[in-house]
Amino acid sequence: MTERDTHTVTAMAATQVIKTEWLLNATAYYAVQDPSAVLFVQPTQGAAISFSKERFDPTVDVTPALKTALAPFRDRNTLDHKEFAGGAIDFVGANSPMDLASRPKRVIVSDEVDKYPASAGTEGDPLYLAEERASTFRALGRAKFLRACSPTNEDTSRIGREYRASDQRRCFVPCPHCSHRFELLWRYVVWEKDSFGDPLPETAGIACPECGVVWSEGDRLRALDALADLPDHGWRQTRLFNCCGERQEPKAWTPQGRSLCGICGKPAPYGGHAGFVISKLMSRRHRLSDVVAEFNIARGDPELMKKFTNTALAELWKPSGREKVDGERLMARAETLGPEDLPNWVEVITFGVDVQGNRLEAQGIAWGPDEECAPFLYEVIHQDPAQPAAWAELDALLMSTFRRRDGVTLRVAAAAIDTGGHHAAQVYAFTRARRRRRIFAIKGRAGAWPIWPNQARRSKTGEQFWPVGVDTAKDAIYGRLRIEIEDGEARRPGMIHFRAGEGFGLDYYEQLTSEHREVRRQRGQSYAVWVLPEGKRNEALDTFVYALAARKTLPRRIDASLEFGLPKPEAEAPPPAPPRRAAPPLAMEPTARPESMLKPTRPRGGWLQPRR
């Protein structure tokens, strides 16, 4: 940050690792040690104000030098503007082109850059628009650009793009047993399993690729501490470079971590852009056992694995969907299962319903551990959705029960019905009366949104609906479609098992694999879209998306036989509970509220709680 030949620093880091502390300290440095005009950019203006109030102001309160620098200008300082002798800090949102384009600034601090909009109005990439404000200082060689964020998808991540443009520094940590220096990568993390094959995260360690010794947690912390005494603090440039007429991979470095030409021995050309990757494996505040536990929870769920890859390992995620999935190959691996013959590993059942102009299409999916699932029922209700008969037939379907091979009977745990057609009023009326059965009105939302949101939204007519991240859901589904079983295996985490039978002919698989993922550019920024070729249908994919969204409203781990199963007819009745002792009378009995006054609270993740 203080090197004269470095103008840009990009940090692609895990969550809760270094980013905020670094940017706060950098901003304070440019207020006290090197007074400058600073622009601090957050994804939105609201986020900028919150950061100023909740993070920067408390830092000022506990930092005497910073507090002293801002004190003379206390009367003029606001939440979004802080003055000090020789400069000022402005907190702005990336969604405001006016704030990004006015007044020159020497230092541009950009936080959470992957959450910036693709364009600030019609002006283009907000990151570059903000940094254009330092063009005068750039010409004088005095501009500084600091960027930080956790990565997202490989083909659309803004922080990934900027890291690729940097010198791509990586941290090489010395082994405390043999002194060999290597990157702390996930492939070197090992742990044991118990006699049942379940992982034991507390046994996790890092295996040195040179001597083979497995580090303890203490070894890892000591190795990280040892970086402070190294001239390069562990960081080495890894980007390919041209020198002496050849394209070279760095294999030798100066004591400060600058790559050396393998022919002339001179330092490689440096463009002034330093980039860093920092994962939780390099963090003292995150235990290795916790990272391993997070991985084992995410295993088998592409959505959770994407989150783990991005936010724990600080690596770019390679999304599925760019290559065509072979529907006939999926059909060839179909299995014998059905509504009365579900595998014993099934825990819950969800439905997704698509509303067309002249029919309803519903898909039932059975879910097991580790997000393993089986589409087992596809029904087309050939009734006009404007008429009650169509909804009566759907209600009967959602009230049906289904049986596992061991005799356990299951009912529908949750269902999601799309409102994005001409019959939204009928969908709202149907779901409004069935919220206690976890039947939700949803609306698809394109873009990098979670499959299931934190809270519901309201339509223009005041109806409650849940916006579903359909693009994220399709990424997850296509990732699971590519899971193949190996020889001798029957099941794998996240795998989709298909039914051989009615409703699952070739047309089903063609609809399920009809879309593909494309990367497009808007004003210099890449973004992904899912494209349905003209003349193709995709109801099977849409209903799968909605059933997956319904699954997200339920706890990740469920004992289906207790929570969503019905007792078998031949099961004996449980013994009666012992009578409770009567409570002593109260001095004043509370007024009883009739059952009709019990109102459901807002669903949180699909659950409804009576409020008394």
User: pLDDT digits over 427-459, tens only?
Assistant: 999 999 999 999 999 999 988 888 999 889 999
State whether CATH 3.40.50.300 applies to domain 8-167: yes
Specify the range with the lowest mean pLDDT, choosing from 91-105, 160-174, 358-372: 91-105
Which residues have CB under 8 Å from 436's CB, separation 6+? Answer: 600, 608
Question: How far apart, in Å, are the Cα atoms of 66 and each of 21, 61, 71?
Answer: 15, 8, 9
Q: What is the CATH number of domain 327-566?
A: 3.30.420.240
Q: Which residue has the higher pLDDT, 560 or 119?
A: 119
Strand partners, 441: 417
Please check the confidence at residue 593 and state whether its pLDDT lies above 70: no
Structure confidence at residue 89 (pLDDT):
94
- Provide the pLDDT confidence category of residue 561 given band limits of 50, 70 and 90: very low
Structure confidence at residue 95 (pLDDT):
83
Strand partners, 457: 465
Using one digit for the tens of pLDDT, what is the confidence trace for 236-253?
999 999 999 999 999 999
Please check the confidence at residue 129 and state whether its pLDDT lies above 70: yes
Mean pLDDT of 511-524: 80
Structure confidence at residue 597 (pLDDT):
36
Mean pLDDT of the residues in the chain: 87
Structure confidence at residue 267 (pLDDT):
93
Q: Could you tell me the two tokens for 144?
A: 């500084």
Mean pLDDT of 97-105: 78
Please check the confidence at residue 463 and state whether its pLDDT lies above 60: yes
* Coil vs helix vs strand at 480: helix
Question: How far apart, in Å, are the Cα atoms of 194 and each of 203, 204, 217, 298, 508?
Answer: 11, 13, 20, 19, 41
Q: How many helices (H) and strands (E) does the chain have?
A: 18, 30
**Do residues 284 and 222 touch, judged by C-beta distance below 8 A?**
no
Structure confidence at residue 564 (pLDDT):
58
Structure confidence at residue 64 (pLDDT):
95
User: Quick one: how far is CA 444 from the chain centroid?
Assistant: 17
Q: What pTM, to 2 d.p., does this model score?
A: 0.71
The residue ranges of every structural domain in the chain are 8-167, 173-225+285-318, 327-566
**Do residues 449 and 589 touch, judged by C-beta distance below 8 A?**
no
Question: How far apart, in Å, are the Cα atoms of 282 and each of 177, 220, 594?
Answer: 18, 9, 57
Using one digit for the tens of pLDDT, what is the confidence trace for 264-307?
999 999 999 999 999 999 999 999 999 999 999 888 777 788 89
Structure confidence at residue 321 (pLDDT):
55
